[in-house]
Structure 1
Amino acid sequence: MQQQFARFLRAGAMASVVAAVLGTSFTLATSSSHAQSKTQLLVYTALETDAMKLYKDGFEKANPNIEIRWVRDSTGVVTAKLLAEKNNPQADVVVGLAATSLALLGQEGMLLPYEPKGMKELNPAYVDSARPPNWVGMDVWGATVCFNTIEAKKLNLPTPTSWQDLAKPIYKGQIVMPHPASSGTGYLDVTAWLQMFGETNGWKYMDALHQNIAQYTHSGSKPCTMAGTGEFPIGISFEFRGHQVKRSGAPIELIFPKEGLGWDIEASGIMKGTKNLEAAKKLVDWMASKDANQISSNWWAIVAYPGIAKKVEGIPDNYEKLLITQNDFNWSAKNRERILAEWSTRYNAKAEKK
């Protein structure tokens, strides 16, 4: 009897194990099937990491059958990667890349023109002028100088008010700025100076400024962060990072040079040849939506959807009027290779080591 009971227990245990294994296999198969039922979009981006999760969560909540897979790097690196992949594109969509970079991709025939739903609600100044457009803007970012008041006082440095001030000998070795080949912020600075001052005087200005530069960083955020910690008293950066560094308690003043501010647009576009076209369109539709623009307004003083932007501490109310008007994205895109080659020949010796 005891032997029969033992055999019964062993048989029961084996049945439980089998049932558990079968149950687990069924669960895994169901989970795998569910995952496979989602369309995965490979999205190249230069978005600040602070923002990526909110955009992903918002889009996937509205589109539960689509999943974003980000590939993130700085603007210059993402642009170079896309151009290198021209004959074998990998990305489905580009989100949060500079409009100057997207204009270049458009000139290379790499973007699929598309007018997203709701585009007519957006400020046309922040949308590609072609119809249908190659890219649609999300928000504007512009140049800002982060000035550490404590470190400047120690060094007896006056507060600059203009770009020309920063070229004065008193600031020798005290300034950091982004490398234009790596950083979209660096490139918008360079192209703004060339357009504001004219090419001849623009290069003369950068020659003088170069004497005062300690380092060209590969990040648009880093110069302001370095100014905030006091590593250098002056960092040429952009307003979003300046606002964040100031809000963290760093002793910096945000300066908006009186000649005008270079600027660019974070924008989205569909890569030509994507195998997930309908899902790609849905992502670009959503990036143009009021919901997406409300997310953008958490950081940016200017967004593409009118009436959504909020007051950002430290950013002047007339900020939009400070942006230079002579800002031709197509010119900046068309001349990118030439401008970067000339810039590197003149100034690359002070580039941050990678």
Structure 2
Amino acid sequence: MTDRFARRAVLAGVARVTAGVFVGATLLAALPGVADAGKITVYTSYEEDELASFLEAMQEDLPDVEVDVLRLSTGDLRARMLAEADNPKHDVIWGWAATSMVDPRIMEMIEPYTPEGIDKVPARFRDKDGHWFATTGYMGAFCVNLPEMEKAGLPMPTSWQDLTKPEFEGKLVMPNPASSGTGYLHVASILQMMGEEKGWEYLDALDKSMDQYIKSGSKPCNAASAGEFPIGISFALRAIKNIDEGYPIAMVLPSEGAGHELEANALMASSQNKEDAKKFLDWTLSKSAEEQYNKWKSIVTMQGREMPEKFKAAGLPDDISTVLFEMDYAWAAENRDRILAEWQKRYEE
């Protein structure tokens, strides 16, 4: 392993939540009033801060349901579920990449369920046989540190092609697609929009601009926001949040179109508490849940959304379809292992 990849080692973020309360990566005791409640275990890849907000709202609406949450990055969660396939440990999958959900090995573990309120979600955002549905999603974006760009005399990028210019050599950081759903959506979208032969040629060129590949989808934006790198390839929501908090960055949506991913929910066939698991899944389509999604997510699938002002101020248009690359989720899922093996051979060995 190269020195560059030695620097890339980042511990997996594991967060456990009980009764809708979240603090760091600590498993907390149940709150008063829920000690005797029905309990479910939920696996998710939602980011820690948005997860805490969602669970706080859920606790208010479902005080009789105790939820123990394991939060892992998309790739790590996929590996865990496949390792546990003979004896699944959870009741619900929540906010996890649709391109991972449609893996036939995962689909075998899922029980079809039609939650209350599913009609609010267009058919394109749910499985036709009811195995999963997506209420949220995320889209790729570049986080550009304006002072660092000025200091280094770098031009503002507007496209993927701009990032391969010689002046950006060693100036970028992005998520590792083997562990991060965000990283994989970037790679999959590039291979789809350019075709595989030219896409791999492009990724070879982009690798020259890369200082690190990091395990987390959000950390590249956070690193750029802190001035550690001029540009972090990340996702729009993290850029919007950091801009809103006052970090000196700009969000750039690549002119070729932003790759995106749906965050899907499903019921585990092996669940020992399906009544409460179904209550939870019904809640994910509630008005209360939708209000939370609107605060945090760049993509909300439920119809009739009004784009939050801070999202628009950061540069997200009212109609996000104008900036999204039309992803082929099935292709991304079917070719995932092959693509990741090729990526690791090229850039990790």
Report how far residue 47 of structure 1 moved: 1.1
Q: Find the counterpart in structure 2 of residue 323 from structure 1.
A: 324
Match status 1:303 vs 2:277: no
SS at match of 1:211: helix
Report how far residue 309 of structure 1 moved: 4.0
Report how far residue 106 of structure 1 moved: 6.2
Q: Find the counterpart in structure 2 of residue 167 from structure 1.
A: 164
Q: Find the counterpart in structure 1 of residue 50 from structure 2.
A: 51
Deviations 1:64-95 (A, max 9, x none): 32111011111111111111111110011011
Q: Find the counterpart in structure 2 of residue 17 from structure 1.
A: none
1:246–1:253 CA contact under 8 A, matched in 2:
yes
> Identity across aligned pairs (percent)?
41
Moved >3 Å (runs of 4+): 34-37, 105-108
1:100–1:333 CA contact under 8 A, matched in 2:
yes
Q: Aligned pair in 2 of structure 1 residues 105, 286: CA closer, same or farther (>3 Å)?
A: farther
Q: Find the counterpart in structure 1 of residue 197 from structure 2.
A: 200
Q: Find the counterpart in structure 1 of residue 314 from structure 2.
A: 314
SS at match of 1:235: strand
Task: Please give the alpha-carbon distance, in whole angstroms, between the structure 2 residues aligned to 1:204 and 1:107.
Answer: 32
Deviations 1:118-153 (A, max 9, x none): 10112333222x22x221112121010011121111
SS at match of 1:298: helix
Q: Find the counterpart in structure 2 of residue 218 from structure 1.
A: 215
Report how far residue 60 of structure 1 moved: 3.0
Task: Please give the alpha-carbon distance, in whole angstroms, between the structure 1 residues aligned to 2:87 and 2:272.
Answer: 12
Deviations 1:143-189 (A, max 9, x none): 10011121111211111111011112221000000001111100100
Q: Find the counterpart in structure 2 of residue 334 from structure 1.
A: 334
Unaligned runs of 5+ in 1: 1-30, 350-354
Q: Find the counterpart in structure 2 of residue 266 from structure 1.
A: 263
Q: Aligned pair in 2 of structure 1 residues 270, 346: CA closer, same or farther (>3 Å)?
A: same
2:225–2:249 CA contact under 8 A, matched in 1:
yes
- For 1:115-154, what aligned pairs fall within 5 Å after superposition? 115-128=114-127, 130-131=128-129, 133-154=130-151
| TM-score normalised by structure 2 residue count | 0.86
Deviations 1:257-306 (A, max 9, x none): 11001000122111121111121111111112222111111112331211
Task: Please give the alpha-carbon distance, in whole angstroms, between the structure 1 residues aligned to 2:230 and 2:98.
Answer: 30
Report how far residue 105 of structure 1 moved: 5.6
Match status 1:242 vs 2:243: no
Q: Find the counterpart in structure 1 of residue 91 from structure 2.
A: 92
Q: Aligned pair in 2 of structure 1 residues 112, 251: CA closer, same or farther (>3 Å)?
A: same
Task: Please give the alpha-carbon distance, in whole angstroms, between the structure 2 residues aligned to 1:219 and 1:58.
Answer: 26
What is the identity, as a one-letter code, of the residue corresponding to 1:39?
G
- For 1:17-32, what aligned pairs fall within 5 Å after superposition? none
* Alignment size in residue pairs: 316
SS at match of 1:224: helix
- For 1:222-233, what aligned pairs fall within 5 Å after superposition? 222-233=219-230
| TM-score normalised by structure 1 residue count | 0.85
2:138–2:262 CA contact under 8 A, matched in 1:
yes
SS at match of 2:247: coil
Unaligned runs of 5+ in 2: 1-29
Structure of higher CA gyration radius? 1
What is the identity, as a one-letter code, of the residue corresponding to 2:227?
G
Report how far residue 107 of structure 1 moved: 5.5
Greater fraction helix: 1
Report how far residue 35 of structure 1 moved: 5.4
Q: Aligned pair in 2 of structure 1 residues 88, 101: CA closer, same or farther (>3 Å)?
A: same
SS at match of 2:314: coil
1:300–1:309 CA contact under 8 A, matched in 2:
no
1:301–1:315 CA contact under 8 A, matched in 2:
no
Task: Please give the alpha-carbon distance, in whole angstroms, between the structure 2 residues aligned to 1:73 and 1:316.
Answer: 27
Report how far residue 36 of structure 1 moved: 6.2
SS at match of 2:300: coil
Q: Find the counterpart in structure 2 of residue 5 from structure 1.
A: none
SS at match of 1:139: strand
Deviations 1:317-348 (A, max 9, x none): 243321111x1212211221111111111112
Q: Find the counterpart in structure 2 of residue 352 from structure 1.
A: none
What is the identity, as a one-letter code, of the residue corresponding to 1:125?
R
Q: Aligned pair in 2 of structure 1 residues 67, 285: CA closer, same or farther (>3 Å)?
A: same
What is the identity, as a one-letter code, of the residue corresponding to 2:171?
Q
Q: Find the counterpart in structure 1 of residue 345 from structure 2.
A: 345
Deviations 1:212-239 (A, max 9, x none): 1000011111111111111110110001
Q: Find the counterpart in structure 2 of residue 26 from structure 1.
A: none
